[in-house]
Amino acid sequence: MDGEALALSLRLAFATSAVLLAVSIPLAAWITFTRKRWVAVVEAIVALPIVLPPTVLGFYLLVAMGAQSPLGRWWVDVTGGPLVFSFQGLLIASVLSSLPFAVQPLVAAFSGVDRRLLEASAVLGRGWIFAVFKVVLPLSRAGLVTALVLSFAHTVGEFGVVLMVGGNIPGSTRTLSIDIYDSVQSFDYAAAGVTSVALLGFSAVVLTIVYSLRRRGDRRWVM
Amino acid sequence: MGDVSATLDVSVRRHVVDAQVSVPLDPAKVTVLFGPSGSGKTTILRAIAGLDGASGSRIVFDGEEWDDGQRLRVPTRDRRVGLLFQDHALFPHMSVAENVAYGLIGMSRAERAERVQQSLEATAAEHLIDRMVNSLSGGEAQRVALARAIAPKPRLLLLDEPLSALDAPMRSRLRGEIRRILTDQGIPAIVVTHDRTEALALADHAVVLIEGRVVESGPVLEVFDRPKDSRVVDVVGMETALPASVVDVVDGVVRVTVESHTITSAFVPTAEGNAPSTFVVGDEALVCIRAEDVSLELPGARSRGSQRNHLPGVVQTVSPEGVLVRVEVDIGVPLAALITRPAAIDLDLQPGSPVAAVVKSTSVHLIKR
């Protein structure tokens, strides 16, 4: 197994999970608690990566981050290098493609929080940010862990978007799944097999953790 | 708040509710919003707290506009009201102390601890301070919830069916205590309830709602004992309401006929409205009698007493009700009596027994039809 690819996959997964945590908590809170009708549109957009072929998402991201795009040009101005085929570009792509895996478990968990607790919080003079941190998140711990684990695992296993946006640059964009693809292309089935078994085991362990957490849920707090 | 003329004026138009309510904001004054389920009481309470978004309500608290009916102006968190939820809504992942401290904003740690202690003492729950809320009984949880509501010193307390989630013994114990706590705190309060006993025990002022409309309001005793509106008679628990016509009015004493009986009614008028003198011969009236004001005696045993109304009839049903016994008597029309268990045994009341229902004329309340 390619150690460099493993290290990159882990680095990407950690970074993606961290960014997703920061982005999806407010997003999920807004989706859960807003009274705006167009929330359905936002939910649909968040869920798109689940149904779209990764190549389609990858294609649009490639165009949006390419040297011709405003974002790509701005990036070149600021950093001197291109956004596509870089780790940073890969991170942005991973965050977007894993977004539903973080947001949906959080929305499910937040929806399970008794609305009257939020009303009690408001009556007691507290704003919604305070309520999210003091009431909603502590009562959604299982959902929070599920969101983190799923976005981490999904990033480790991501292939299509990574290939489209990141290409195959060792140490920079060549992740484990690309490494497997590469090994197969060069008929090195033994190397592909080792890496595949590792990913298979990893995924099984992660899902077992998620389902056992979900089974326990937050029932301790149900009154 | 010290201003005796201060009021909370609420006008709610939402779903089936279309009600205008004016609540006095004297310190320690308790107003009850009373009515059957679905009459809109909770809708009004939630509008006052600002919990339902743009509610089509106009709310003015002591001259301060909270809601102009167009959009929510003052958000809930800035209204400084305390709300006691029906099933307390304590934060399940926090301790009692953390719950009570939740609304204490801008205080030092020491001040907060002191205020938590004071609030729990006020509701006789200081011994629960270190407990987790999911280990509390229903009554304990309600005390803690009340402490949490009063801790930030709200300008107005709202209590939504505060006792309905409790079992009967706990309910009667807390009933008197809540009244004492509300009085001690000196905060005006609005209590929503459909329970007559609760309304009478807690409130000074009553607003009766039926199907989203305010049908009567005034001092609680007056509303419950001398309702002016025939629709209120039923909801305030006057079991007997019989159609009658006025045959005689002499010196404030009104005599009416119900079926073959003549019933005498007399009372000292307490407010404008249905003073007996406003009745004239030929008026159609509703005779309202509380079951607890009806006593029973065996026929022929008639004593020479001051009671004016002796109504012979036949016992229909005898059903125990707590320490009392409810007896339905057919006097040509149904009449309910509530008597003690020993009295029922003494009179040997069985369905079919002949009895006479005795009612003082001051216990007969007349409403114009």
Question: Residue B130: is its pLDDT beyond 90?
Answer: yes
Report ipTM (2 d.p.).
0.79
Nearest to B65 by CA among B57, B74, B56: B74
Nearest to B315 by CA among B346, B287, B356, B345: B356
Min Cα distance B135 → chain A (Å) is 9
Q: What are B284's strand-pairing partners?
A: B245
pLDDT value for A217: 55
Show residues of chain B in contact with A35, CB under 8 Å. 53
The β-bridge relationship of strands B213-219 and B205-210 is antiparallel
The β-bridge relationship of strands B30-34 and B189-193 is parallel
- In this prediction, residues B257-280 reach a mean pLDDT of 70
Considering only the beta carbons, identify the residue of B49, B91, B134 that sits closest to A123: B49
Distance CA B116, CA B122 (A): 10
What are A33-74's pLDDT values in tens digits? 888 889 999 999 999 999 999 889 999 999 999 888 999 899
Show residues of chain A in contact with B77, CB under 8 Å. 122-127
Search chain B and give the residue with CA nearest A141: B93
Q: Cβ distance A72 to A61 under 8 Å? A: no
Adjacency order of strands within the sheet including B324-330: B294-297, B354-359, B309-321, B324-330, B334-340
| Cα B287 from chain centroid (whole Å) | 22
- In this prediction, residues A154-178 reach a mean pLDDT of 86
Percent of chain A with pLDDT over 70: 96
Show residues of chain B in contact with A119, CB under 8 Å. 49, 51, 76, 83, 85, 89
Exposure string of B341-362, with b = 16+ CB inside 10 Å and e = fewer, is eebbeebebeeebebbbbbbbe
pLDDT value for B54: 58
- In this prediction, residues B14-28 reach a mean pLDDT of 83
Question: Rounded to the nearest 5°, which phi and psi values hold at A88?
Answer: -65, -40
Question: Residue A197: is its pLDDT beyond 60?
Answer: yes
Distance CA B19, CA B56 (A): 11
Of A124-128, B13-17, B137-141, the one with minimum mean pLDDT is B13-17
Q: Which residue has the higher pLDDT, B68 or A99?
A: A99
- In this prediction, residues A127-154 reach a mean pLDDT of 91
- In this prediction, residues A88-94 reach a mean pLDDT of 92
Q: Burial level of A184, CB count in 10 A (0-12/13-18/19+)?
A: middle
| Cα A69 from chain centroid (whole Å) | 24
Distance CA A8, CA A155 (A): 11
Percent of chain B with pLDDT over 70: 93
pLDDT value for B110: 94
Using the structure block, give the residue that is written with the tokens 């004492």: B180
Show residues of chain A in contact with B134, CB under 8 Å. 221, 223
Question: Residue A130: is its pLDDT beyond 70?
Answer: yes
Domain boundaries, chain A: 3-216
Helix (H) / strand (E) containing B354: strand B354-359
pLDDT value for B131: 94
Please, which residues have CB within 8 angstroms of residue B369's CB and are 6 or more apart in sequence? B230, B243, B284, B285, B286
Min Cα distance B202 → chain A (Å) is 22
For residue B284, what pLDDT band results from cuts at 50, 70 and 90? confident
Average pLDDT over chain B reads 86
Min Cα distance B140 → chain A (Å) is 14
pLDDT value for B267: 65
DSSP structure string for A77-141? HHHSS-STTSHHHHHHHHHHHHHHHHHHHHHHHHHTS-HHHHHHHHHTT--HHHHIIIIITGGGH
Please give the torsion angle defined by the CA atoms of residues A129, A130, A134 and A136, in that order, rounded to the nearest 10 degrees: -30
Distance CA B260, CA B250 (A): 21
Considering only the beta carbons, identify the residue of B80, B85, B134 that sits closest to A125: B80
Task: Say if the Cβ atoms of B92 and A119 lie within 8 Å.
Answer: no
Q: Cβ distance B151 to B103 under 8 Å? A: yes
Show residues of chain A in contact with B149, CB under 8 Å. 123
Task: Say if the Cβ atoms of A123 and B77 lie within 8 Å.
Answer: yes
Considering only the beta carbons, identify the residue of B82, B93, B105 that sits closest to A138: B93
Category of B205 on φ-ψ map: left (φ > 0), alpha (ψ -120 to 50) or beta: beta
Nearest to B105 by CA among A120, A124, A138, A134: A124
Question: Residue A28: is its pLDDT beyond 90?
Answer: yes
Question: Residue B301: is its pLDDT beyond 80?
Answer: no
| Cα B201 from chain centroid (whole Å) | 8
Using the structure block, give the residue that is written with the tokens 């229903």: B138
Nearest to A101 by CA among A24, A177, A173: A24
Q: The tokens of B145 are what?
A: 């919830």
DSSP structure string for B100-120? HHTT--S--HHHHHHHHHHHH
Of B200-209, B260-269, B335-344, the one with minimum mean pLDDT is B260-269
pLDDT value for A220: 43
Please, which residues have CB within 8 angstroms of residue B70's CB and are 6 or more apart in sequence? B54
Of A18-22, A207-211, B294-298, the one with minimum mean pLDDT is A207-211
Amino acid identity of residue B58, one-letter, is: R
Distance CA B119, CA B357 (A): 50
Min Cα distance A220 → chain B (Å) is 9
Question: Residue B75: is its pLDDT beyond 70?
Answer: yes
Furthest CA-CA distance within chain B? 77
Q: Residues A3-216: name the CATH superfamily.
A: MetI-like (1.10.3720.10)
Considering only the beta carbons, identify the residue of A35, A123, A221 that sits closest to B92: A221
Question: Residue B285: is its pLDDT beyond 90?
Answer: no
Please, which residues have CB within 8 angstroms of residue B356's CB and are 6 or more apart in sequence? B296, B297, B298, B299, B302, B310, B311, B312, B313
Question: Rounded to the nearest 5°, which phi and psi values hold at B303?
Answer: -90, 160
Q: The tokens of A174 are what?
A: 């060549």
Category of B142 on φ-ψ map: left (φ > 0), alpha (ψ -120 to 50) or beta: alpha
Task: Say if the Cβ atoms of B134 and A221 lie within 8 Å.
Answer: yes
Min Cα distance B37 → chain A (Å) is 20
Show residues of chain A in contact with B153, CB under 8 Å. none
Q: Cβ distance B82 to B136 under 8 Å? A: no
Search chain B and give the residue with CA nearest A116: B89
Best of A124, A129, A130, A223 to mutate (most B CBs within 10 Å, chain B): A124
Which residues of A sit within 8 Å Cβ distance of B?
Answer: 35, 114, 116-117, 119-127, 134-135, 138-139, 221-223
For residue A218, what pLDDT band results from cuts at 50, 70 and 90? very low
For residue B277, what pLDDT band results from cuts at 50, 70 and 90? low
Considering only the beta carbons, identify the residue of A35, A114, A124 that sits closest to B103: A124
Question: Residue B251: is its pLDDT beyond 50?
Answer: yes
- For chain B, how big is the Rg over CA atoms in Å? 24
Min Cα distance B292 → chain A (Å) is 40
Distance CA B84, CA B156 (A): 11
pLDDT value for B282: 85
Distance CA B254, CA B323 (A): 34
Task: Say if the Cβ atoms of B51 and A222 lie within 8 Å.
Answer: no
Q: Which residue has the higher pLDDT, A16 or B244?
A: A16
For residue A222, what pLDDT band results from cuts at 50, 70 and 90? very low
Q: Say which DSSP state B267 is in.
A: -
Best of B76, B156, B187 to mutate (most A CBs within 10 Å, chain A): B76
User: Which of A173-182, B13-22, B268-277 has the largest mean confidence?
Assistant: A173-182
Exposure string of A60-71, with b = 16+ CB inside 10 Å and e = fewer, is bbbebbbeeeee
What are A110-119's pLDDT values in tens digits? 999 999 999 9
The full set of domains in chain B, from first to last, is 7-231 (3.40.50.300), 238-368 (2.40.50.100)
User: Which of A99-113, B30-44, B314-328 has the largest mean confidence?
Assistant: A99-113
Please, which residues have CB within 8 angstroms of residue B56's CB and are 6 or more apart in sequence? B12, B13, B14, B69
Nearest to B235 by CA among B219, B214, B256: B214
pLDDT value for B303: 62
Distance CA B64, CA A177 (A): 64
- In this prediction, residues B31-54 reach a mean pLDDT of 87
pLDDT value for B298: 87
Considering only the beta carbons, identify the residue of A114, A117, A126 that sits closest to B103: A126
Task: Give the SS3 label for residue B88.
Answer: coil
Search chain A and give the residue with CA nearest B50: A123
Question: Residue B80: is its pLDDT beyond 90?
Answer: yes
Average pLDDT over chain A reads 88
Residue B227: CB atoms within 10 Å: 27
Question: Residue B1: is its pLDDT beyond 50?
Answer: no
- In this prediction, residues A22-40 reach a mean pLDDT of 92
What are B321-356's pLDDT values in tens digits? 878 899 999 988 888 899 998 888 888 888 998 999
Considering only the beta carbons, identify the residue of B80, B81, B92 that sits closest to A223: B92
